[in-house]
Amino acid sequence: MNKQLIIFADNDETFVVNWALIDPVAQQVIDNNCSPVNEILDHYKTYINIDLYLIFSGFDAPLKYADIPAKTETQARAAAPFIFEDDLSAPPETLHFAIGPAIENNTRPVFIIAQDIMNSWISTINDSEMSLSGAFVDIDCLRENKTATVYEKPDGNFIIISNEGMAASVEADMFDLIAPDFFKNINGPIPIYARTKPALANEQTPEQHDPLSIVDFFLCYSTAITSGKPVNLLQGTFISRKSMQEIWLTWKRPAIFFSALVLAFIGYYATESWQLSQTIARLDQETEATMKREFPGVSSINQVRTRIRSSQTNATDRFILLSAILFDSVQENEDISIISTRYDESRGELSVSLNTGSFGDVETLKNSMVRRGAGLTEGASRQIDGRIVADVTVRERVS
């Protein structure tokens, strides 16, 4: 596993930030400091086996939840600005909406961050010739266990997390106003990692712990990134795209091997084709000579060969026709996929194994194929892991 270069992307005009280089396997910080971003990137851009990550503050990327009934991620991102329109402090076209997977029903976590902040950091990283592997939010990395907790950050501000997975960044002078209401439904003591014991609801008794160090925070970020659970902000227009040089370095050896394989295949195929053509020509001569000798009234075998080729062409056309009808019909139902197909030339029929969501999907597919001029006969079916695997036969429909 690659080392992780994690930069805390504080929205600071000086671009002097905290960072750490971490071995995620050993969960060990190899190096860390507070440095200008350009110095960090210039130093590590020549290193190999390092993945670069950004961690944004919850102040810059607050967490919200919403019911987003969308079939695709693109649809969900398109709907988010309208859902939160009344709660936004900036025009929606200036904001970036990063959406996480559904928690229950259609409820999904959404992180909202200014596009200018994202563009500024990504532009800086691109100029350094490094590639960004992921961008996350500190409150999202710390809410993984969904346990009510309070963390005091090195800058004196706080991160608060509820049992339901809600998380927020709170300024130090606002904590006493916000935290009691945030934790009002929490029973029992709440772990607090802070230098002082801040006020919570009257009936709660905080569990006081020493605050996390900067290194501790970076180790938490690393653990969360490795788990793959936090929402990656690199979505939509910010999806990470590798440079052509990186793509070439990744695929150089496979491309060379594949090219050699193709050339070898072409050479082999050309040799085999030439040998086969020579054999066919010799057999044609022998066959015509035999026919002229045994059947004086028959001058050529070409008519027989023409009929055979015509039969083969008809079989090929029938296979193409049935396959086209099958795939066009399957495209109408997103819950049906093709596992395998086999064409029986002697019967002129296509045997197909389907993966479907229900028995009704097969009937829907059958009706669709009938409209296109083919017939479908159902065979055996079985249920595997909550899905229906059905064997069907497709043939031309006789009018």
115, two tokens: 């596009």
Q: What is the spatial distance between Cα 379 and Cα 320, in angstroms, rounded to a whole number?
A: 22
Instruction: Report residue 62 CA to chain centroid gap.
Output: 24
Task: Indicate if 288 and 363 belong to the same structural domain.
Answer: no
CA dihedral sign, ordered 353, 357, 358, 361: negative
> Is the pLDDT score of 307 beyond 50?
no
Prediction pTM value: 0.60
Task: Indicate if 161 and 268 belong to the same structural domain.
Answer: no
Confidence band for 15, pLDDT divided at 50, 70 and 90: confident
Higher-scoring residue by pLDDT: 105, 384: 384
So what's the pLDDT on residue 334? 84
Taking residues 252-272, what's their average pLDDT? Answer: 80
Task: Indicate if 252 and 321 belong to the same structural domain.
Answer: no
Instruction: Please state the domain count of the chain.
Output: 3
Out of 3-7, 98-102, 177-181, 369-373, the most confident range is 3-7
Task: Indicate if 343 and 196 belong to the same structural domain.
Answer: no
275, two tokens: 């040998």
CATH number of the domain within which 337 lies: 3.30.1360.100
Q: Which phi and psi angles does 211 have, rounded to 5°?
A: -65, 155
Give alpha helix (H) positions in 143-235: 175-182, 214-227
Range of the domain at 230: 3-241
CATH number of the domain within which 181 lies: 3.30.420.380
The one-letter amino acid at 281: A
